[in-house]
Each structure stands twice: as C-alpha cells, then as structure tokens.
Structure 1
Amino acid sequence: MKKIGIIGLGMLGNAVAMHLLNSGFEITAYNRTTEKTKELREKGAIIASSPKEVAESSELVIIIVKDAEAVKQIAFGNDGIIEENHEKLIVADMSTIDPTESKNISKKFLEFNISKLDIPVMGGPNVAISGDLVMMASGDKKIFDECESILNTIANKVFYLGESGIAHSVKLAMNLQITMLALALSEGITLVKKANVDPKIFLEILNSTYFKTGMSEKKAFKMIEGKYEPTFTLANLKKDISTITNTAKNLGIELPMISKAEEIYENAIKAGLGELDYTGIIEYIRKNNE
C-alpha cells in the first residue's frame, strides 16, 4: 500500500499527511477549504476536488474531520467516497466520534464493499509530524493487519482493541482525562496565585511527585505565562466533551464531573475563548475570580 488519501487538513490532518508524504507515500488530499491544502501541494501531494476523487486515487483513505456528521457527508454525500466503485478500498477514521455512530458508519460502508477501521489518536500536530502519535485501532482484524505497517508509520504505539467502535470509546475516555487535568491545573494555579505563591513553585513541587503529568511538565508553564497557541482548541475539546456526555447517557451511566466540565467549557466558549488552546480554560477560571 503506497497510495494514501487524507480527507480533512486541520492541524492534525495536515501534520499526518506531511509525515506520510515525507515517509515516501503517495498522498492525495482533500479539504473543504482549499487554502489549507497549499503546504501539501507545494510538497508534492495531489490535491483532489472531492472525497470521491480521493477514493479514486487511493488504496487507503484516512478521514480526520470534526464530527460524525462530517464523516457521513464525506463518506455518503454528494461526490462522497462511496461514489467511487474502488475494489478493496479501506477507510480509516481518525476523527473523534460517538462509538455507536462509528459502528453504524462501518456497517453502511460494508454495503458498498468498503472496509473501515477506527484509528483515533492521542497527541497533537507537534508529534504527528514525526510519527509519534499513540493510536487506538478497532475493526476487522484482517483489515487492521493489512494496514498495520502504515499505522505504525503514523504512530509509535498502536493498540488494536477489537471490534468497530471500541477505539472511539477509549479515545473518549482519554479526552476525559485531558479535560480533568486541564481544569485541575487551572484551579491549582489560580489557587496558589491568589495565595501569593509563585505558581512555578507549585508546578515544581507537583512535578516532583507521583501526580505529575505531561501536561503539568509542559503546557502548565505556558498556562502561567498566558500562552495558549492551539494544538487542540478549547472549542474542539468542548465538542468531544459533549460526545462523552452523550455516550455516557447511551450507556446508562452517570459521569458527574464531565457533565460539570461540559458546562464550564460551554461558558468559556460564550466568553470568547473557543479558539484558544484547550488549556486556555484557565482564563475562564481566572476571570471568574477577578
């Protein structure tokens, strides 16, 4: 497999496509807004005019878009993937979507003899460009085995988890962790600053303990400095938080903390913070305590 299609050239999609291009794969890419295709075009990728055209040129199509509705439009809409009768085409969805939606999309693809894998990832464009993502994969094991070498090019760790939908369940659980860590750091930093303690000392102590995280070792210092250059926007995390709460309802479980977090992130977006990095939630906490 050398011909790979990429649909969705946001920050993550562009970085994945660039890494695969640099790794020697032939890339055909599509994005709804064509200005986001410029960098890949200059590096030698083929830029398609529709998802159908991507499917025509590819053996594997990777979708990296906002939500399930966008996936379905790309797959089944006008000039969608299914309009190309391409034998043995495989679709891999890297978007973060509801597990039930993922299963339904997989079933519909099979009606057109197209196999689909779920391949959501952890890590932003800064690690995607070097192939250092962590990937959760689910779907038909034979299809996974067929794509495994490509998936191992995209990610330095790939976890095969089983049947369709499972990878998205784990991805949502991972984004729940991100949400809580960002809020905990925001409140901890706010607390010590109000107590006239240098928050850097707080982070130094935190990072000397069992409770340190990658976020506390890296992004937290930028949070103190008010630097929120987005690798994953606050608005996008809010979208995923809503997917988590809806999934919890469908599973018949109560997750009280993520429900509260959904309210907080929604209010932060209303306050105009949606395009900041998700760690910009500290600005909402700070403003509420002025």
Structure 2
Amino acid sequence: MEVGFLGLGIMGKAMSMNLLKNGFKVTVWNRTLSKCNELVAHGASIGKTPAEVINKCKVTIAMLSDPAAALSVVLDKDGVLEQICGGKGYIDMSTVDPETSCKINEAITSKGGQFLEAPVSGSKQPAETGQLVILAAGDKALYEAAIPAFDILGKKSFFLGQVGNGAKMKLVVNMIMGSMMNAFSEGLTLADRSGLNPRDLLDVLDLGAIANPMFKGKGPAMLQNNYSPAFPLKHQQKDMRLALALGDENSVPMPVAAASNEAFKKARSMGLGDMDFSAVFETLKVLKHSS
C-alpha cells in the first residue's frame, strides 16, 4: 500500500517512519523539504508539493501544526485541492477545530475525493512506538481502507461518525490533559514550598487513585528542568483555546480550563512555546522568585 504523508514535525516524522518500517511505500512532503531527508534514507520518496503527493498516492495523510496550516496545505497553490479527485482519499490527523475540519471536508468532497479527520491522542513516544489513539470521523469507507495504516500507527482506532466529531473529541481530551498538567504543576510547587520533597509526592501519587502515565512520565523530567518537546507548549495552548471556543459554542462553563489556558499563555509569553507543554511548571517558579 502506498501512502502520502504531509507534514514531518515531531509527530509526522515518527508516524511516517513507522509506516516505512512496516512495509508501506510512503511519499512525503514538508514545507522545509530538507526535513524529508531522513525519511528518504529509510526508503521514502519525496513529493515537491502537496499536489504532487496527492497525484501519486491513492490515500494521503496530513499531520500539521494548526488550523491555518491545515487549510493552507489544502487550499493554496500546489495544494491538495489541485489533484484530489474521485478514487482518492485525504486523511487529516492534525488537531484543529470542528469548523476547520468541515471546511476541508467540503473542499475535498466537492472535487469527488473522500475525507476523514483522524486526530490522535498521544505525543512523541506513542507516535514512535505505534501506540496512538486515533479519533476518526467522516467517510466510513475511507476509514475502513485506512485500518491497515491505523493499526501500525495506533493501539486503538475509534470511528466517531460525522466530520467534526473527531476534532471535538480531541479538543476535549487535550483540554482535560492541559488542566491536569496545571494542577500537577501547582501540586509540585505547593509540596516544595511547604517543605516537602516533590519526589515523595510523585511516589505517593503513583500509588493512589489518580496515578497516571502523564504524572509518572513527566514529573521526574519537570523536577530536572527537562522540557524536551514531546508535545510543544504552543500547541497545547492552541488546543486549550479551541476547546474553550467549543465550550462557548455549547454554553458549557469551563472555569478550570480557562484558568489553565491563562497559565499556558503566560508560559508562551515567557518564550516557552517550543518546549514541552509541561514547561507551564516554569510559570510557578517565576511566582516563587518574585515573592
């Protein structure tokens, strides 16, 4: 099976590499073409434009940074829309708002193509090990055709119905994750300021009812000021913003998420946007130093 892949950031690179290692033929494109070189060394082909990738491949996957990038790759010159047609499928695995997914769906289907949104739950390590959770919605036939690829990329795939539902589910998941990270950061800081050893807190949490892989995986690195990006903070803040907009649309009060979003915005203003989203912890250290 030959698959196109658009976007080779932290996630896209790991996902396309997984496909290559598991016998898929992959044609890749990235806005900075030099990022394709490592994939080419493992057997990938390069498409010079998104349109060229679409023309070559029956199914093309995109993993892009934000709604603007997702729309640009489809609608701009030499974009997806120039070559999409009947018999070709486009799967956008980016995290975007439901409105963006619906716009892309309308554009693709107006040219006869099939569209599936399929954002993922998981960051760098799950992407590298094929342990993502795939939240798909849209064309059911394309979903079924993509199962062999999804089985390589993820540990579980969900089909959630109409376009927009995948985006909504991903935003809800990331809203919860961002809020949890803020509460975790506050807990680590409160333990430290109260004269406790934060490492003892990690052990206590890991033995209780709120034990979870995020606390276990991120906590030790946070205490060592290690924010190597598995999921960049700027993307987490973008997702919080989009989740809050979804809350507004559905008249859902979200005071915890709103406060967490402010913390991520503060971290971005401190120049931490390209660090891991756990770097929101640093906003509390600033408060400590200024007190």
TM tier, smaller? over 0.9
Amino acid in structure 2 at the alignment position of 1:260: A
**Residue number in structure 2 paired with 1:126:** 125
User: Contact 1:116–1:139 (CA<8 Å) still a contact in 2?
Assistant: yes
5+ unaligned residues in a row in structure 2: which ranges?
none
Structure 1 segment 83-232 matched on structure 2, within 5 A:
83-232=82-231
Amino acid in structure 2 at the alignment position of 1:148: I
**Residue number in structure 1 paired with 2:250:** 251
Q: Shift of residue 263 of structure 1?
A: 1.5
Q: Shift of residue 85 of structure 1?
A: 5.0
In the superposition, the TM-score normalised over structure 2's length comes to 0.96
**Residue number in structure 2 paired with 1:59:** 58
SS of residue matched to 1:138: strand
Q: Percent of counterpart pairs with the same letter?
A: 29
Query: After alignment, is 225-234 or 256-265 more displaced?
Result: 256-265
Query: After alignment, is 13-22 or 70-79 more displaced?
Result: 70-79
d(CA) in 2 for partners of 1:143, 1:268: 39
5+ unaligned residues in a row in structure 1: which ranges?
none
RMSD: 1.2
SS of residue matched to 2:138: coil
d(CA) in 2 for partners of 1:121, 1:189: 28
Q: Shift of residue 277 of structure 1?
A: 0.5
**Residue number in structure 1 paired with 2:285:** 286
Q: Shift of residue 86 of structure 1?
A: 4.4
SS of residue matched to 1:113: coil
d(CA) in 2 for partners of 1:191, 1:88: 57
Amino acid in structure 2 at the alignment position of 1:283: E
Amino acid in structure 2 at the alignment position of 1:25: F
Aligned residues: 289
Q: Shift of residue 129 of structure 1?
A: 2.0
Q: Shift of residue 140 of structure 1?
A: 2.1
Q: Shift of residue 35 of structure 1?
A: 2.4
Q: Shift of residue 187 of structure 1?
A: 0.5
User: Contact 1:55–1:86 (CA<8 Å) still a contact in 2?
Assistant: no
User: Contact 1:16–1:125 (CA<8 Å) still a contact in 2?
Assistant: no
In the superposition, the TM-score normalised over structure 1's length comes to 0.96
**Residue number in structure 1 paired with 2:16:** 17
Structure 1 segment 18-97 matched on structure 2, within 5 A:
18-97=17-96
Q: Shift of residue 106 of structure 1?
A: 0.6
User: Contact 1:56–1:86 (CA<8 Å) still a contact in 2?
Assistant: no
Amino acid in structure 2 at the alignment position of 1:47: I
- Cα deviation, 1:195-227, whole Å, max 9, x if unaligned, reads 111111111111110111111111111111111
